[in-house]
Amino acid sequence: MKYISYILLVLFGMFVLTACDDEKPSKYHEEIVVDGFMWVGQRMQISLTKVIPFDQAYYADSVRITGADVFVTVDGVSYPLTEAISGIEGTYAAADSAPLVTKSKAYDLLVAKDGDSLRAHTTSAAALELTDVFLFNVNTGEIRPDPDTLEYGGDYLQMNWTTDSANYAYAVLIEAMDQSKYGESCDFGNDNGPGSYLFAWASRDISGLLLPWITLCYEGPTRLRAFSCDTVWWNYLGSVQFGSTTNDPESNVIGGKGIFCAVGCDTFDVVVTDTIAD
């Protein structure tokens, strides 16, 4: 879940100060941000952070919300999520005796902290598994199954995955693992992804995706994440603007910001090599 937290902290972890008609800045209001990506087949777990002023430096340790009371209700039973179980400040996890996240189940979140309360609801997607990943080179016609490198300038990447009627949609995110899209070093804090998200595709009824080399516009290790979406994650993707500091994507958290959803995910890693002469 640490890779997804980078997106949320970029999108929700900054509060943009806007101007009124008299050009005086509005008063900053601290809010709780829910990083509530739960994974099908894993234990219930979320993280809590807070928004910060736009002009304030971001440090992962300084935005964690600790000491909250967190509960997730499923099948009429409420399960407490605690920091003691996760072992990480600001991250709340269910006990081993609690049921794992299961497809087509309805989940309700309650967060209470210092008199404030947040609520959210979602219905989980099904697990997803990549069944086939291969490259073909448009210049040579060569097909390479299970590749570990992708040639920038010729290779196309085909990803196929399992489908399920419980899934509302599917999405693919491309993540630069050690550099940003433009080559700068990426260091976004101890708990966040090692790189930046470059692109995202989402569609309702697909079982695979063909990615041309032109979409991978940097050299280095790359991770591709295929998601089975619930409706919340789908709505989020449809409203997000990657790289914009004024982002305000759709949230299902009442009383705060962020997202609470349950999705399936499988990953594929490849090293992009640039063979085009400068």
pLDDT in tens, 117-139: 999 999 999 999 999 999 988 88
Give me the pLDDT at residue 6, please: 45
Give me the pLDDT at residue 246, please: 62
Give the angle subtended at the CA of 273 by the CAs of 269 and 277, to the nearest 5°. 165
Residue in 100, 99, 101, 69 with CA at minimum distance from that of residue 84: 69
Give me the pLDDT at residue 276, please: 59
Give me the pLDDT at residue 239, please: 80
For the chain, the helix, strand and coil percentages under 3-state DSSP, each to the nearest 5: 10, 45, 45
Give me the pLDDT at residue 10, please: 41
Give me the pLDDT at residue 3, please: 46
For the chain, which residues score pLDDT lower than 50?
2-3, 6-25, 180-194, 278
In Å, how far from its chain's centre is CA 88?
19
pTM for the whole structure: 0.78
Measured distance CA(211)–CA(216) in Å, rounded = 9
**Residues in CB range of 121: below 8 A, 6 or more apart:** 106, 107, 108, 109, 252, 260
Cβ neighbours, 10 Å, residue 64:
17
Give me the pLDDT at residue 277, please: 53
Give me the pLDDT at residue 7, please: 47
- pLDDT tens-place string over residues 226-244: 999 999 998 888 787 665 6
Give me the pLDDT at residue 201, please: 81
Distance set, CA 148 to CA 132, 135, 145, 212 (Å): 14, 10, 9, 16
